[in-house]
Amino acid sequence: MTLTFFGDTVLDKPYKLDFDFEEFIFNLETPLSCDGIPARNKVNVCQKESHIQSTFNSIPLAVSMANNHVMDFGEEAFAKTKLSLESQNIPYFGAGLKNENFNNPQIVIFEGKKIGICGYCCPSAHPVFGDKKNSGSAYLDPKEVLKDIKTLQDSNVDFIIIQPHWGIQEIPFPTFTDREMAHLFIESGADMVIGHHAHVMQSHEVYQGKHIFYGLGNFIFPDLNMPSYHDGEKFTGTRYKIQRIQHRRSIVVTLDKNFNVDFYGVVLNGNIIKKANFKFPTWIPNSEKEFQKKLSMQYKINMFKKFLAEPKIPTLTHFKRFVKLFKK
């Protein structure tokens, strides 16, 4: 028996998983309702109903809701999302109210052992954060993470997992700050760190014998063509995006009953997800200076790749961005 971890997941319809797995946990990157007041000035993602059962043919041990899209349609959609999950007997973590500690930690039973898991969202992802009165994601504050780790240690769980929603979108390696935080979490008692948010896979490392996956990538994230950027009265634009191959590849992490960790790659083609062989990102920064230098180069690479994939006559704005990149 294995426990499997999937990355960012948006199920706009049922999908087919053409590989074997058993128990599982994933990041629910959307509310399970489109009712409510849209969050302002952002891409608003939602699904009108749950397709969890029809996609996985079972229900997860839990889902993370610590991300920047779960509050895209406000309190009404979030409340309906919780009701939907509860009606399916699916526990959740990483979002809610402060007096609930944002439903952190969640303890699940796997092969007779207790696994404690917590989710948090980094402010760089621009989420809606929760407080005493308003629902939202848990803030990625290292002090709060360490408190939750201590709570789990006091509860005598067998394994502790931290799931941060962090990183820079489209960048296949972690920030230096994220690496420092991940190391702190391991040093403080976490047994594994599993990140997501960047919409591409990020690097993996083993630190003090513990696995850190900085970003699993998109597990299932459909092409985007949706009204967005609400101004409080109406949507002011449409977000259109074709998910390229790098957005359809992801890392799948497995944990067995003895807490041995393994991982492999999958790719989404059409409505089917299959195992696939490809290289995983490996580069990890050793300093902030090193990170900034690599980031500047990666922005240039991404710009060229985007132009080759979607060639068009450059505008003045494009030229300004191009010049700005090469001034760095």
Token pair for residue 190?
């976490």
Number of structural domains (the chain) is 2
pTM of the model: 0.93
74 & 92 share domain: yes
155 & 302 share domain: no
**What's the CA gap between 41 and 61, in Å, rounded?**
33
61 & 185 share domain: yes
Q: What is the CATH number of the domain that holds 20?
A: 3.60.21.10
113 & 15 share domain: yes
Any residues with CB less than 8 A from the CB of 26 and at least 6 apart, and which?
A: 5, 6, 7, 9, 60, 63, 64, 219
317 & 237 share domain: no
pLDDT (tens place) for every residue of the chain, 328 residues total: 999 999 999 999 999 999 999 999 999 999 999 999 999 999 999 999 999 999 999 999 999 999 999 999 999 999 999 999 999 999 999 999 999 999 999 999 999 999 999 999 999 999 999 999 999 999 999 999 999 999 999 999 999 999 999 999 999 999 999 999 999 999 999 999 999 999 999 999 999 999 999 999 999 999 999 899 999 999 999 998 999 999 999 999 999 999 999 999 999 999 999 999 999 999 999 999 999 999 999 999 888 777 777 666 666 665 566 556 556 5
Residue-range definition of the domain harbouring residue 18: 2-282
Q: Please tell me whether the peptide bond between 105 and the residue prior to it is cis, using omega within 30 degrees of 0.
A: yes
**What's the CA gap between 280 and 190, in Å, rounded?**
23
291 & 273 share domain: no
